[in-house]
Amino acid sequence: MNESRWQGIIQWPLTAASLIFLVTYSLRVLGDFHGELRTVTWLIIVAAWLLFLMDYVVRLALAADRGHWFRTHIFELLAVFLPPVRPLRALRLITLLKVFQRTSGDALRARVSIYLTGSISLLVYLASLAVLQCERFSPRANITSFGDALWWAFVTLSTVGYGDYYPVTAAGRLVAVALMLGGIALVGVITATLSSWIVERVMAIRPHS
């Protein structure tokens, strides 16, 4: 079996596991379950994580040049350690539509735009969940509800930094750092996409001027 065949087999199970992971993690944080429900949600999260790990190990084993595959698939490794980013796989299914398979600049930018919109939404949502999970039980916390966490995530990602809500725990601050780095990276991609669009429009107009 080669890597392409394995991807064809595992693509839908991984996408389903990604969405199930996201829903279960959301319920676990927002529902603040105890007892059996907490155990069940934890088992679902672990099962999904094991599937992500298995996929990574199998694809690495099937790669012809494992060193090159490892260097060019850092996102897959990141997804093993940070499973919440896995739902981004669902965005890939949208880009498989014929309209996005064209190689024109507009089609490529449409694909990038979908990833950007999904990435930003997912980043804000997951950062809100993560910081709420880290902060709400701290006696010094000022982020104690999902609404507070969501507002903090938007303010932090946009680099406005009002300072009305801020993490006080070490884990919460790590989430903040990850969110800020992710925001910087996304701003760079947005700028590059917009620049590409402007350059293409200028080049299209120039022959007629």
Q: How do residues 59-72 score in pLDDT, each as one tens digit?
A: 999 988 888 888 88
Residue 69 exposed, middle or buried by CB count within 10 Å (0-12, 13-18, 19+)? middle
pLDDT band, residue 18 (cuts 50/70/90): confident
Q: Could you write out the DSSP letters of every residue in 160-202? A: ----SS---SHHHHHHHHHHHHHHHHHHHHHHHHHHHHHHHHH
- pLDDT for the residue 187: 66
Query: CA 65, 70, 71 angle in degrees (round to 5)?
Result: 105
- What is the pTM assigned to this prediction? 0.74
138-179 pLDDT, tens digit each = 999 999 999 999 999 988 887 776 778 999 999 999 888 888
- Locate tokens 């996929």: which residue? 55
pLDDT of 43 higher than 90:
yes
The domain made up of 95-209 has a fold known as: Helix Hairpins (1.10.287)
69-101 pLDDT, tens digit each = 888 887 778 777 776 666 666 665 555 555 455
Distances (CA, A) of 171 to 57, 61, 127, 154, 168: 28, 34, 12, 19, 9
184-204 pLDDT, tens digit each = 766 666 666 656 656 665 666
Q: What is the mean pLDDT of residues 100-122?
A: 66
What is the chain's percent helix, strand, coil content, to nearest 5? 80, 0, 20
186 vs 2, residue with greater confidence:
2
The token duo for 115 is 């990833």
pLDDT of 108 higher than 90:
no
* 32 DSSP assignment: T
- pLDDT for the residue 57: 92
- pLDDT for the residue 111: 65
pLDDT of 22 higher than 60:
yes
Q: Tell me the C-alpha distance between 22 and 194, whole Å.
A: 31
